[in-house]
């Protein structure tokens, strides 16, 4: 569909093009800027799937330094679960014949998160193919008091998908079948282990899009996405998974299969149980199948990449943009100059516009190429004319759209190549959003390699990242609880979209009152009385 | 804003206008049709708020025949709650001084639902002003084992907001303060008793819209809307309240205040507790305040009202419409000829187009009047040219838009004037959606006055209504469980948006498996161990 784009750009845009010192194609223009995007053979590298989108298992390469065991780095005590015995292995082998993995080498990758910050010591990984197999596994583990760590693509940011001690890893990798897709309603039903990018391709071929997109799409599983209530790049347009996920099939701690896998847009029959499992990070049940509403694929997509002189101008550009682009605005992302420096340094991606303190990526998705081009050009004229934006480039064909998106999507990857990364994923009031980055940069001085800020500005979501040569308890002490206290003072969220997993579970109290924590503990006790599901995650350590 | 609309309609539209045998204004055209919409003084009556939007208390007029007590009409046994004593009244008077209502006349309206189908016999109604007062009330009732029936605008369809026996009615009517509104983010925070239409007016004056709209807007409370997970007329565009409600303050059964009243678009810190209360009809807690994300107000709104020769054509028009109107489509409603007959008969509203077997109301909401007009006219040309639609009329100014919407919104009111109404609110697969109406019409023959079908086609939501002179157990027996079994065979929902309340609680099992029912009962037991919150509602009677 994208290659068929033929926007009717208004005459004034060609003035910008004519004003360029070098000729650029109609699909990729820059304004008033010295830098130009090189061709396909340039420093952008291949235009296909980036390494990041295959993150996960690939990150555990043998040449990288070994990751410290979680139980050693953090003060955490093993809970009194049973230890997997030979008898257990035999019993599990009967449930998933030939799919009980005990080879230490094969277990290395699933024991480590892709960021290489936490490491468990699980001795066994299971690969069920069906919900019934998952049910048998959990029924067995529940009876035997064996702890379980459900794992999708292992692309999480907070150590939620790797074991902390010797939990049995239950992988959804072989549960990768599409169950059904309805060509009129756009409802997709699939198993939990389907890879997001593959689902995306499948529905796009049928004229729809998955309402979720994120950097890890090449390896993350839809079940994991739902279990972590992933936000991502399309949140601004299509909203939360809490609205777009229509149904779930979940296996409860005792092996009960809870089938709420309906395909209805509306269903007010009783409590909406699926909501319990969305975002509960596998601590209340294991999601085995998902029903999700896919919106029609927009026939026209444009991406503008803009340079901004300051954060105040970024915010003003956002307000202008929302007013002028209205219903076709599908993403408003920002990144600071430090981010651009890192994607240049580690991934050799060139900045497509004049160097600026801030950059904005705006995406429009609509049903009328001509109308969208007109709206977008009106907006660009406005922000360039008023000085809110100092330089910009526009892409309308898929290849160049991907190239611009790569600058934003691959920041995570560039950061992970810069050293040990302290990651914060915060919701903050828009007008204070960047203050914390500046504040922290001053506070840390030379103790950090880089302090960067980027994220989903349209959703009030800041990704604040600090890199250092290696993990250091003293740097951690300077960062925490400072960052959390700062966020709490603004009544923000200490985890906007990444969840709490293992690494953030103890900071829940910065964003939720004690009454909420108590009710969460009660829900956990109700749904998983023995606490076997993804222990040491999501809820604070009880003291 | 709406009065400033000045769409640039393309030339071809004026051909349609020229082809009309009588001159019509540019804002209100009909094509190829004999019927014309009368002027403001015609049978449409006043163009302001319809009687329906003030429904609720107004419906309990003293001249209407008395409604049979719920406990007499249905076989239901009072649970062993305490009975309100003089000491209780004195204690409650200390909590909400001067706001303890015991006058039998004042209690008549809140004891009866607006449809006049159920009636409780509560002897006391409380009017708290703050969450703290609600907390004190519930703490007291919890200790004394007194049952409570929370009540908003009392506009529900399933007897969820009226007491069944002598439950204490806790009204949110005086909790009607707006707490805050953020002009950039569009986040509205308000008390639960704010009337939807007033909130709507408030945010529209500030350039935003409430993402929810429904016929009862003039009297329903936002707290009740959230407690019932109301769907309504903007669902197609803005999605479920599960996505747009950002935060809630809830008082639990024991009087604990659970403050999850954040204003963040994204917050993944722990389990999303607010989801438990959305749609739980006051059985798990009493919602006292709501934080809701309001989208920017569209600058251009158009409404087209079309006549269709058959239901197959309605469906094809929907597919065409979704493709051609894309992101500006904000409503796709349908009604059958019987509905039109009833709004004509009881409300004296005239059909604005040629008589047809089916009618469609399409609304577009966008940021560019010219673009929207162009998209809409392209679509209309297509459906009129292909014969999918045989006649149509278009409104672009607010007054006439309201007049067209009234035809759809006031069906409920017309039905209630036709006699006793058996109401079914179903989610069904689109291609089978209307079969049930035809099927039932044949099945009932002369036993029913009217069998009508209308609803939110874009959401797969059918409102099936059957009217008769009076309530009749034998007609009920012909309808039920037939309708539910039919729906269950299509894997539909027996309550798409109205909830279960008192009248539908025992049919939950047609749409949810036993494992789900069990978990719902467990959640109820966890959150309200004494069962004092809105008893006899939502969950099936335990046998």
Q: What is the pLDDT of residues A258-302, one digit of tens each?
A: 999 999 999 999 999 999 999 999 999 999 999 999 999 999 999
* Phi, psi angle pair for A44, to nearest 5°: -75, -20
Do A167 and A218 reside in the same domain of the chain? no
Mean pLDDT for A484-512 is: 97
- In-domain check, residue B95: yes
Whether the CB-CB separation of A332 and A376 falls below 8 Å is answered with no
A364-373 exposure pattern, b = at least 16 Cβ within 10 A, e = fewer? bbbbbbbbbb
* Phi, psi angle pair for A412, to nearest 5°: -55, -45
Q: Do B266 and A459 touch (CB under 8 A)?
A: yes
The alpha carbon of residue B497 is apart from the nearest alpha carbon of chain A, in Å, by 5
Residue A27, pLDDT score: 38
Residue A64, pLDDT score: 63
Pairwise CA distance, residues B510 & B491, whole Å = 9
Whether the CB-CB separation of B255 and A451 falls below 8 Å is answered with no
Looking at beta carbons, which residues of chain A come within 8 Å of B244? 239, 243
Domain-terminating residue out of A293, A319, A353? A293
Tokens of B176: 């009607």
Q: Do B263 and A374 touch (CB under 8 A)?
A: no
Tokens of B66: 């008395």
What's chain A's average pLDDT? Answer: 89
Helix, strand or coil, per DSSP, at residue B320: helix
β-bridge partners, B363: B303, B331
Residue B541, pLDDT score: 85
pLDDT digits over A55-66, tens only? 433 333 445 678
Give A39-68 as a DSSP string.
Answer: -TTSTT--SSS-GGGGTTGGG--TTSPPPP
Q: Do A270 and B324 touch (CB under 8 A)?
A: no
For B516, the closest of A258, A298, A375 (CB atoms) is A258
For A516, the closest of B231, B273, B495 (CB atoms) is B273
Q: How far apart are the first and last CA of chain B?
A: 56
Q: Do B265 and A427 touch (CB under 8 A)?
A: yes
Helix, strand or coil, per DSSP, at residue B492: coil
Q: Do A266 and B513 touch (CB under 8 A)?
A: no
Whether the CB-CB separation of A251 and A200 falls below 8 Å is answered with no
- In-domain check, residue A1: no
CA B46, chain centre distance (Å): 22
With a CB cutoff of 8 Å and minimum separation 6, the contacts of B81 are B145, B146, B147, B167, B532, B535
Do A278 and A310 reside in the same domain of the chain? no
β-bridge partners, B453: B464
Looking at beta carbons, which residues of chain B come within 8 Å of A243? 239-240, 242-244
- In-domain check, residue A353: yes
**CA-based radius of gyration for chain B:** 24
Looking at beta carbons, which residues of chain B come within 8 Å of A538? 270-271
Tell me the pLDDT band of A231, cut-offs 50, 70 and 90. very high
The alpha carbon of residue A375 is apart from the nearest alpha carbon of chain B, in Å, by 8
Looking at beta carbons, which residues of chain B come within 8 Å of A229? 268, 272
- In-domain check, residue B536: no
Predicted confidence (pLDDT) at residue A12 exceeds the cutoff of 80: no
Tell me the pLDDT band of A543, cut-offs 50, 70 and 90. low
- Between A280 and A185, the more confident residue is A280
Domain-terminating residue out of B239, B263, B293? B293
Tokens of B112: 């009866």
User: Could you give the strand order of the β-sheet that contains A168-171, starting from the edge strand earlier in sequence?
Assistant: A100-101, A125-126, A168-171, A148-151
Whether the CB-CB separation of B259 and B249 falls below 8 Å is answered with yes
Pairwise CA distance, residues B319 & A185, whole Å = 9
Give the orientation angle of helix A514-527 with respect to helix B514-527, to 10 degrees.
Answer: 140
Pairwise CA distance, residues A455 & A246, whole Å = 27
Whether the CB-CB separation of B427 and B461 falls below 8 Å is answered with yes
Do B111 and B206 reside in the same domain of the chain? no
Do A220 and A326 reside in the same domain of the chain? no
CATH number of the structural domain spanning residue A132: 3.30.43.10
Do A286 and A184 reside in the same domain of the chain? yes
CATH number of the structural domain spanning residue A193: 3.30.465.10
Environment class of B515 (CB within 10 Å of its CB; exposed 0-12, middle 13-18, buried 19+): middle
Looking at beta carbons, which residues of chain B come within 8 Å of A500? 268-270
Q: How far apart are the first and last CA of chain A?
A: 56
Do strands B178-181 and B168-171 pair parallel, antiparallel, or not at all (unpaired)? unpaired
Q: Do B375 and A371 touch (CB under 8 A)?
A: yes
Tracing tokens 């409300």 back to the chain, one arrives at: B347
Give the orientation angle of helix B435-444 with respect to helix B482-489, to 10 degrees.
Answer: 150
Predicted confidence (pLDDT) at residue A24 exceeds the cutoff of 70: no
Pairwise CA distance, residues B456 & B438, whole Å = 18
* Phi, psi angle pair for A92, to nearest 5°: -65, -35
What is the total count of domains within chain A?
A: 4
Other C-beta atoms within 10 Å of B494: how many? 28
Pairwise CA distance, residues A75 & A501, whole Å = 16
Tracing tokens 């008082």 back to the chain, one arrives at: B251
- In-domain check, residue B38: no
User: Could you give the strand order of the β-sheet that contains A286-293, starting from the edge strand earlier in sequence?
Assistant: A178-181, A187-191, A286-293, A245-251, A257-260
Give A452-483 as a DSSP string.
Answer: EEEEEGGGTEEEEEEEESS--HHHHHHHTTHH
Closest C-alpha among B399, B303, B414 to residue B359: B303
Q: Do A430 and B257 touch (CB under 8 A)?
A: no
Looking at beta carbons, which residues of chain A come within 8 Å of B519? 258, 273, 527
Helix, strand or coil, per DSSP, at residue B394: strand
Nearest chain A residue to B537 by CA: give it.
A270
Q: Do A231 and B491 touch (CB under 8 A)?
A: no
Q: Do A515 and B257 touch (CB under 8 A)?
A: yes
Q: What is the pLDDT along chain B (543 residues), one digit of tens a residue?
A: 222 222 334 333 433 333 333 333 333 444 433 222 233 333 333 333 333 334 433 333 445 678 999 999 998 999 999 999 999 999 999 999 999 999 999 999 999 999 899 999 999 999 999 999 999 999 999 999 999 999 999 999 999 999 999 999 999 999 999 999 998 889 999 999 999 999 999 999 999 999 999 989 999 999 999 999 999 888 999 999 999 999 999 999 999 999 999 999 999 999 999 999 999 999 999 999 999 999 999 999 999 999 999 999 999 999 999 989 999 999 999 999 999 999 999 999 999 999 999 999 999 999 999 999 999 999 999 999 999 999 999 999 999 999 999 999 999 999 999 999 999 999 999 999 999 999 999 999 999 999 999 999 989 999 999 999 999 999 999 999 999 999 999 999 999 999 999 999 999 999 999 999 999 999 999 999 999 999 999 999 876
CA A383 to each of CA A318, A377, A380, B351: distance values in angstroms, whole numbers, following the listed order: 10, 10, 5, 48
The alpha carbon of residue A133 is apart from the nearest alpha carbon of chain B, in Å, by 18
Do B387 and B317 reside in the same domain of the chain? yes
Do B154 and B202 reside in the same domain of the chain? no
- In-domain check, residue A157: yes
- In-domain check, residue A56: no
Predicted confidence (pLDDT) at residue A32 exceeds the cutoff of 70: no
CATH number of the structural domain spanning residue A435: 3.30.70.2740
Q: Do B229 and A263 touch (CB under 8 A)?
A: no
Pairwise CA distance, residues A499 & A538, whole Å = 8
Give A78-130 as a DSSP string.
Answer: --SPPPP-HHHHHHHHHHSTT-EE--HHHHHHHHB-TTS--B-----EE---S
Q: Do A493 and B266 touch (CB under 8 A)?
A: yes
Q: Do A368 and B368 touch (CB under 8 A)?
A: no
pTM for the predicted model, two decimal places = 0.90
Q: Alpha helices, DSSP H only, in B389-536?
A: 398-409, 411-416, 435-444, 473-479, 482-489, 514-527
Residue A339, pLDDT score: 98
Q: Do B262 and A491 touch (CB under 8 A)?
A: yes
For B184, the closest of A269, A319, A512 (CB atoms) is A319
Q: Do B375 and A366 touch (CB under 8 A)?
A: no
Closest C-alpha among A395, A411, A59 to residue A214: A411
Q: Do A268 and B492 touch (CB under 8 A)?
A: no
Pairwise CA distance, residues A155 & B25, whole Å = 59
The alpha carbon of residue A265 is apart from the nearest alpha carbon of chain B, in Å, by 6
- In-domain check, residue B396: yes
With a CB cutoff of 8 Å and minimum separation 6, the contacts of A10 are A373, A374, A377
Q: Do B266 and A539 touch (CB under 8 A)?
A: no
User: Could you give the strand order of the β-sheet that contains B125-126, starting from the edge strand earlier in sequence?
Assistant: B100-101, B125-126, B168-171, B148-151
Q: How many Cβ pairs within 8 Å bridge chains A and B?
A: 259
B254-283 exposure pattern, b = at least 16 Cβ within 10 A, e = fewer? bbbbbbbbbbbbbbbbbbbbbbbbbbbbbb
For B511, the closest of A269, A324, A371 (CB atoms) is A269
Do B259 and B209 reside in the same domain of the chain? yes
The alpha carbon of residue A208 is apart from the nearest alpha carbon of chain B, in Å, by 11
β-bridge partners, B34: none
Looking at beta carbons, which residues of chain B come within 8 Å of A496? 264, 266-268
Domain-terminating residue out of A293, A316, A337? A293
Looking at beta carbons, which residues of chain A come within 8 Å of B365? 327
For residue A473, what are the domain limits?
A: 419-499
Do B164 and B187 reside in the same domain of the chain? no
Q: What is the ipTM of this complex?
A: 0.90
Do A355 and A324 reside in the same domain of the chain? yes
Do strands A420-427 and A461-468 pair parallel, antiparallel, or not at all (unpaired)? antiparallel
With a CB cutoff of 8 Å and minimum separation 6, the contacts of A468 are A419, A420, A422, A447, A448, A449, A475
pLDDT digits over A108-163, tens only? 999 999 989 999 999 999 999 999 999 999 999 999 999 999 999 999 999 999 99
The alpha carbon of residue B180 is apart from the nearest alpha carbon of chain A, in Å, by 14
Looking at beta carbons, which residues of chain A come within 8 Å of B233? none
Mutate to test the interface with A, among B160, B227, B265, B270 (most CBs of A within 10 A): B270
Q: Do A326 and B516 touch (CB under 8 A)?
A: no
**Sign, CA torsion B279/B281/B283/B285:** positive
Do A278 and A364 reside in the same domain of the chain? no
Closest C-alpha among B286, B295, B281 to residue B246: B295
Residue B65, pLDDT score: 72
Q: Do B430 and A298 touch (CB under 8 A)?
A: no
Helix, strand or coil, per DSSP, at residue A450: strand
Do B433 and B399 reside in the same domain of the chain? no
């Amino acid at each position: 569909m994208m290659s068929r784009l033929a926007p009717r750009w208004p005459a004034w845009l060609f003035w910008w093009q004519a004003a360029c010192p070098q000729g650029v194609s109609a699909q990729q223009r820059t304004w008033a800027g010295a830098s130009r995007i090189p061709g396909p053979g340039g420093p952008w590298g291949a235009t296909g799937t980036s390494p990041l989108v295959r993150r996960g298992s690939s990150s555990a390469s043998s040449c990288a330094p070994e990751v410290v065991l979680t139980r050693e780095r953090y003060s955490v005590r093993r809970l009194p679960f049973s230890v997997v015995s030979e008898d257990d292995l035999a019993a599990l082998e009967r449930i998933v014949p030939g799919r009980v993995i005990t080879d230490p080498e094969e277990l290395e990758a699933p024991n480590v998160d892709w960021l290489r910050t936490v490491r468990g010591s699980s001795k066994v990984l299971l690969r069920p193919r069906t919900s019934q197999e998952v049910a048998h596994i959990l029924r067995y583990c529940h009876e035997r008091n064996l702890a379980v760590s459900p794992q999708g693509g292992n692309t999480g940011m907070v150590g939620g998908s790797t074991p902390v001690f010797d939990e049995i890893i239950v992988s959804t990798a072989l549960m990768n079948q599409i169950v059904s897709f309805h060509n009129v309603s756009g409802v997709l039903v699939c198993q939990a282990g389907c890879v997001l990018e593959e689902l995306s391709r499948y529905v796009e071929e049928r004229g729809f899009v998955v309402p979720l997109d994120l950097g890890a799409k090449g390896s993350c599983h839809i079940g994991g996405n739902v279990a972590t209530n992933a936000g991502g790049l399309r949140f601004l347009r299509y909203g939360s998974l809490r609205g777009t996920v229509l149904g779930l099939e979940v296996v409860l701690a005792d092996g009960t299969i809870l089938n709420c896998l309906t395909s209805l847009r509306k269903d007010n029959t009783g409590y909406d149980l699926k909501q319990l499992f969305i975002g509960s990070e596998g601590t209340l049940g294991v999601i085995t199948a998902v029903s999700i509403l896919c919106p029609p694929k927009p026939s026209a997509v444009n991406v503008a990449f803009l340079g901004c002189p300051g954060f105040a101008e970024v915010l003003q550009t956002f307000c202008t943009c929302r007013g002028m682009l209205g219903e076709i605005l599908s993403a408003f992302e920002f990144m600071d100059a430090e981010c651009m420096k890192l994607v240049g340094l580690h991934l050799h991606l060139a900045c497509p516009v004049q160097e600026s303190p801030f950059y904005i990526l705006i995406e429009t998705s609509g049903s009328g190429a001509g109308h969208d081009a007109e709206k977008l050009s009106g907006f660009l004229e406005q922000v360039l004319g008023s000085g809110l934006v100092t330089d910009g480039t526009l892409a309308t064909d898929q290849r160049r759209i991907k190239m611009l998106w790569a600058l934003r999507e691959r920041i995570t990857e560039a950061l992970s190549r810069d050293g040990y990364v302290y990651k914060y994923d915060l919701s903050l009031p828009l007008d204070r959003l960047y203050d914390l980055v500046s504040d922290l940069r001053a506070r840390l001085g030379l103790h950090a390699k880089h302090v960067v800020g980027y994220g989903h500005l349209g959703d009030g979501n800041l990704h604040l990242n600090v890199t250092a040569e290696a993990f250091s308890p003293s740097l951690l002490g300077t960062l925490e609880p400072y960052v959390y206290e700062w966020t709490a003072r603004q009544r923000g969220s200490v985890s906007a979209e990444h969840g709490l997993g293992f690494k953030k579970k103890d900071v829940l109290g910065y964003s939720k009152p004690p009454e909420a924590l108590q009710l969460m503990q009660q829900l956990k006790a109700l749904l998983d009385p023995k606490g076997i599901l993804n222990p040491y995650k999501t809820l604070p350590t009880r003291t």
